[in-house]
């Protein structure tokens, strides 16, 4: 298969600090700091590289933190095809205190100018000719309309390139009900995102399957609903599957959703069945939960989990 294209419109440098305690209005000295390239599409890129997939990454990067992200991705062997922004890429701070409190400080990220958006659209069209699958992940940057994913899906459909969409809020909603009628091939809402798309509360597994089935019948080939520690449900042309990893000691679940999306792309590259794909997604995302660093998955942990994943075919 041709290479995979990941799109991250609002990447971030994720900074993790540890400290004794954190007091608002005081000087807070940190004990350790660690910086890694983050943002959902960046996480997907890193996981795909760990599994040896050819990946091109695009979106927006600016300033020092932009260069930091590009360098990390290039070191991992991804092709960086980002558009440079005048404003600096955001940094997100996660402050972990010994007393158990975790404080997050999230920057809004750069405002994308019209000219930068035009350059991105040109770059995207060019990349569509080189890639066999597009993965759109995460929030939309400031200055960009929430219907951008709908447009990116339409452009990919014209060139018959399948698209996976993992987003939330309006950009997700508009991305699955596009005016052009083009649909993503796969979406991976979590429980809350599924409720948002459907516009009503969803209680329990039966109602998740009902909602996912509805979206599948609307034309999304694969609807994968993630339920955190409760596992995964997939509704596809091959029926309904449920998968769950038992006995996981989760230490950091950031990037678990991205692990699921990356796993489905890896399964597509390898030509795996729906059952194999959900098993892979469940093992890789559970392995991700067991490590402090997000999107850096110990392959041995994922392999060891493989046979411990419970996969159930519910119908179809
Ligand atoms: N505590 C956990 N124990 C075991 N597996 C987990 C745990 N948390 C997440 N996972 C695995 O990761 C998958 C995705 O997690 P989740 O539903 O939290 O995604 P998400 O809400 O999209 O996360 P994010 O967008 O922050 O990456 C789950 O379906 C499950 O397979
Ligand atoms: Mg998610």
Q: Which residue has the tokens 């005081």?
A: 26
Contact 132, 161 (CB under 8 A): yes
Distance CA 136, CA 143 (A): 18
C-beta 161 within 6 A of ligand 1: no
Q: What is the pLDDT of residues 93-102, one digit of tens each?
A: 999 999 989 8
C-beta 261 within 6 A of ligand 1: no
Cα Rg, the chain, nearest whole Å: 19
Q: What is the pLDDT of residues 124-149, one digit of tens each?
A: 999 999 999 999 999 999 999 999 99
Q: Of 253, 261, 290, which is best to mutate to test ligand 1, by the most ligand atoms within 8 angstroms of its C-beta?
A: 253
User: Which protein residue has the closest C-alpha to ligand 1 atom 17?
Assistant: 228
Q: Which of 110, 53, 106, 52 is nearest to 82 (CA)?
A: 110
pLDDT exceeds 80 at position 4: yes
Distance CA 265, CA 263 (A): 5
Give the chain's mean pLDDT: 95
Distance CA 59, CA 40 (A): 11
Query: Which residues are annotated as catalytic?
Result: 258
User: Which protein residue has the closest C-alpha to ligand 1 atom 18?
Assistant: 228
Distance CA 228, CA 238 (A): 23
Q: What is the pLDDT of residues 19-59, one digit of tens each?
A: 999 999 999 999 999 999 999 999 999 999 999 999 999 99
pTM of the model: 0.96
C-beta 184 within 6 A of ligand 1: no
Distance CA 91, CA 227 (A): 28
User: Which protein residue has the closest C-alpha to ligand 1 atom 6?
Assistant: 229
**CATH number corresponding to 38-58+112-315:** 3.40.1190.20
Question: Which residues make up the environment of ion ligand 2, defined by Cβ < 5 Å?
Answer: 257
């Amino acid at each position: 298969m041709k290479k995979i294209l990941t799109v991250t419109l609002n990447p971030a440098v994720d900074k993790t600090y540890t400290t004794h305690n954190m007091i608002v209005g005081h000087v807070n000295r940190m004990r350790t700091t660690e910086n890694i390239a983050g943002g959902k599409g960046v996480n997907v890129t890193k996981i795909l590289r760990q599994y040896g997939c050819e990946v091109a990454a695009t979106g927006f990067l600016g300033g020092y933190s932009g260069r930091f992200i590009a360098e990390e991705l290039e070191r991992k062997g991804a092709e960086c095809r980002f558009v440079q922004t005048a404003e600096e890429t955001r940094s997100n701070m996660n402050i972990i205190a010994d007393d158990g409190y975790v404080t997050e400080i999230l920057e809004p990220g750069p405002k994308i100018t019209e000219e930068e958006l035009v350059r991105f659209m040109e770059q995207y069209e060019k990349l569509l000719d080189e890639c066999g699958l597009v993965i759109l992940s995460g929030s939309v940057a400031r200055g960009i309309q929430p219907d951008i994913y709908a447009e990116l899906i339409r452009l990919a459909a014209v060139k018959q390139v399948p698209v996976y969409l993992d987003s939330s809020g309006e950009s997700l909603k508009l991305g699955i009900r596009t005016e052009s009628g083009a649909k993503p091939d796969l979406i991976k809402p979590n429980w809350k995102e599924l409720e948002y798309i459907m516009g009503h509360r969803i209680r329990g597994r039966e109602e998740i399957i009902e909602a996912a089935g509805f979206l599948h019948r609307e034309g999304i080939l694969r609807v994968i609903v993630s339920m955190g520690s409760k596992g995964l449900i997939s509704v596809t042309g091959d029926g309904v599957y449920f998968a769950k990893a038992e006995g996981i000691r989760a230490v950091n679940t950031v990037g678990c959703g991205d692990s699921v999306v990356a796993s489905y792309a890896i399964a597509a590259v390898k030509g795996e069945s729906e059952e194999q794909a959900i098993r892979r997604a469940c093992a890789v995302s559970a392995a991700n939960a067991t490590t402090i660093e997000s999107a850096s998955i110990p392959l041995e942990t994922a392999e060891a989990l493989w046979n411990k994943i419970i996969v159930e075919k519910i119908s179809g």
